[in-house]
Structure 1
Amino acid sequence: MEHQDYQQLLVPHSLNALEVSEARELEAHLETCAECRAELIALRDDAALLAYTAEPVEPRPEVRARILESVRAERTVDRAGAMNDKVVPLKPRANWNVWTMGLRIAAGLAFIALLIGLIVLWRRDAKLQQEVAQLNRQLNTQQHELVRDRDVLARQREALALLNSPDAKHLELAGSETAQNARGSFVYDQKTGKAVFLADGLPATPPDKAYELWFIPKGHSPVPGRIFTVDSSGHALLPEQMPADAMGNAVIAITLEPKRGSAVPTLPIFLSSPKS
């Protein structure tokens, strides 16, 4: 049998309504399947609780009258038997009572089976909703990753177009003693100031820190640029806009600052372009 076939046998097994062979086969499966064992225990607990859910019902007037009439008839028969020393059989009524009781028991069992079936469907529906919610979370994660990948691709295309522009100027950044293996490139359009910065080999940023790019025009105070972080290989790619005051001759530098950035650079410098 498949796992789903065993699950369909759990409800009748909780009511002791399986054939002996099916029950044995299901019991063998339960020894190795924790999920089915847990579901069978829950079904049996739910069936046990049904005995406490039924409210007492007052008999209808016609039922009460029928019972009293039966008692009077039995008394009459007893009196007649005492007088005639004969017993009047009540087989038809007894058969009718047994048949009625059997129908009531069958109806009760059917009602219990219906309730258990509803409980099983409810549990499976809840499990299905959890699976759907998990799939939605995975889909949202994939969509965020897709948006991020598209953003990276757009930056790469923008950087490639700028690198191939005839008006582009390249500045190479070298690592300091703090980051000797780091290197970077800053490329900007001398007409529009549109720029792109590429870095590689920078140390990983602490959770409360971020790198900040600085423009340091000759004879002027440093101008803060973008804040960024690097990936596991120390790589970063970000667009930038060259300030008008720094278009002539400025040093490009990278420092490690608080996560929200700083108004003035904090030493040491990790990357810097040559002084002109």
Structure 2
Amino acid sequence: MDTSSLENPMPITVVDSSVVKADEPLIVLADSLKPALDTITPAPAKISMTYPPLHRDWRRLGYTTSMYLGATVIAFGVLWVMPESATNWDKEEIKEKGLLWKWKENVKAGPVWDEDDWVLNWITHPYCGGIYYMTSRSAGFTAWESFGYSAIMSTFFWEYGIEAFAEVPSIQDLIITPVFGAMVGEGFFLAKKSILKHDKKVLKSRALGITTLFFMDPFNTILDGFGYKDRVKTQMNIAPVGVNQFTKSPVWGVQFSASF
């Protein structure tokens, strides 16, 4: 048996005998990650407006309902200066006996079948009912909840409230305003969703779009114009969230935050 290969082994030349420490590869790895981390910047926060809101915005509804108070005073003034042939209001009796007395008498006498002009009964009241409906619908409430809001507003706020100072509550108005108003209002709701989806434009015109929004939902449009919006700020970025205990390599993850 030839044992020369065992007796005369080939010489091994060591070029670099420096000892490599166990933690140096980790240092090199960490240094190599610095450029990558520097190039990753957090995504800018995005502001999104969801229509309708995902939650019931009671504060918005409170603001818009309060705006009705001022608008109703103006509406009452407009009706007061209109001829009695259009409103059927007995202004002389109101002036003589006072508003509060007239309100009590009208509430006791109603409701009755009125003889108002067809424009008031079949155009104005359904439109007003649609505005009531949209005030609630645009604040995140459901169709049935918005119908209920319209019924309450048209019955107690207007027929047995403001208008009762001048005339007896109307049977037609108690029915037409909330029922037909809900139909008109849901049409307004779908139209508003479409307009907002197209960047508040109608026929590629922003002015026409905003005018249409005001016509369909005046109080919410005014409120949004003053900066009140249902905003959700979101931010997303990519960053190391830990270290793999076996490979000692960083574990990457996505960080997401939202503020309401």
TM-score tier by shorter-chain length is: under 0.3
TM-score (norm 1): 0.25
Structure of greater Rg: 1
TM-score, scaled relative to structure 2: 0.26
Q: Where is the helix percentage greater, Structure 1 or Structure 2?
A: 2
Which structure is higher in strand share? 1
